[in-house]
Chain A
């Protein structure tokens, strides 16, 4: 059975990748190492995971307004997630993605309004994006 979640597209695009699924507040600021994509935040439930090439899901952001620049540096280094999916709007994800397109020509779709609960687990393959802002579990 294919499970699909519908949200709201904040930044357009399409991507496919493995899920890194956090159930806690998430930040790139001081929490993701741009030179590797590794999640370092000791308060994160996905500490030790790598966001590079992944679909990153979390409920909402936290902390510093520098999160967008940490995200952007991760893009500059080529270690960024391919898509970001949140429950409530995280402005730093939106701004980081908009800047990623303008500066480095990378399209990183951002979708909000998705609260998958336990239905999505880290490691599952997901497809994200398109006109109707869906997140689909592929396997």
Chain B
């Protein structure tokens, strides 16, 4: 008998077992796109010790030029050009430019052209045109216990920790393969035993500000290593937007894919439930630790030329709070204020009169893109002021622009008259 496609590609020692249908896909009987996707999924599955591929309910993928680069265009166009179609509902992270108003933001045309190649390939694959990193607030709603394959580190933390569905941090390239197959290797956070908390934190600093949630997340991400953390002591007033930013900050600082929010995360009503009965170290996070994070993320005292709010995308509620803060004020000369959001929240803010207050103060809303993946330097900015720990972490990684990190109320006070 001739060797199966599977054995040819993976070798005899692989633990991964494929169904007859999966074997056919790997052998090319279902077309080149599915063959290529299967080759990626099986090789990665084999590397991480998965025993099988499991069905997913949805996928969330990446298609922004600033991070995918030329190689990423090659990957997406290879899939789209060989007849690939997403097998499950698939949503997409923000683009590197405002897809409607990019010219008015001063985006160079050759840069926009590369982004639109990615948009075209994504559309050809049949993806949902959402262009947001908060798909779980807009158009992708798994329920507790379901398996999904999501890229976008902040959304993976939200999926595992707030919704209680299960996702690994699926990275670029693999995301498209999973979406085309409707399958993902079963490993990591898809397996119950790996989801127990191994370290715990206690919020011990009184009523948190917007910045405190983000700094707390950053502290957890930086100090947990590859252990799954739990968090106790959140006030009952914590909102899903707060948890969105907390999780995003944590994921930006380390490999975190889940945080057991004790009393919020499904199945984690107590710390003992979160840790599956195991005794874990509990670390108090006080004002001192939060101030340490602030000092770490603040790189300059210079006056900002851009206030960037978002990262992850602001919800319509957050845009509403911003509008209230800005109402009746005027942005100082020489400073731009961009509120990054989804096109859906943008539309609702426009209909609700929220955008009128933001624009009346001299600010702008921008949709379908986000600050950390837009070419800030190319757009002419040198010093960015934000309350996003994730943006602070990423911007400082690249080292092109300098960053200041402050709570929203203080930001508005500083940049308006």
Contacts and interface: CB of A to CB of B under 8 A. Distances in A.
Given A76-B71, A91-B171, A102-B40, A25 B48 contact: no
B397 A65 contact: no
Given A62-B255, A73-B72, A90-B255, A30 B173 contact: no
A65 B153 CA distance: 6
A64 interface: yes
A54 B3 CA distance: 37
Contacts of B222: 25
A87 B226 CA distance: 10
A36 interface: no
B contact residues, range: 35 or more
B397 A43 contact: yes
Interface string B356-400: 000000000000000010000000000000000000011111110
A69 B255 contact: no
B297 to A, nearest CB: 10
Given A60-B226, A95-B44, A98-B47, A69 B71 contact: yes
Contacts of B72: 69, 72-73
B39 interface: yes
Contacts of B39: 102
Interface in A74-123: 75-76, 87-92, 94-96, 98-99, 102-103, 110
Given A65-B175, A67-B171, A68-B173, A42 B75 contact: no
B173 A94 contact: no
Interface of B: 36, 39-40, 43-44, 47-48, 62, 64, 67-72, 74-75, 151-153, 156, 168-175, 188, 221-222, 225-226, 251-255, 299, 372, 393-399
Interface of A: 10-11, 25, 27, 29-31, 34, 40-43, 59-70, 72-73, 75-76, 87-92, 94-96, 98-99, 102-103, 110
Give the 7 A-B CB pairs with smallest separation, nearest first: A66-B67, A69-B172, A73-B69, A30-B397, A68-B171, A88-B226, A10-B47
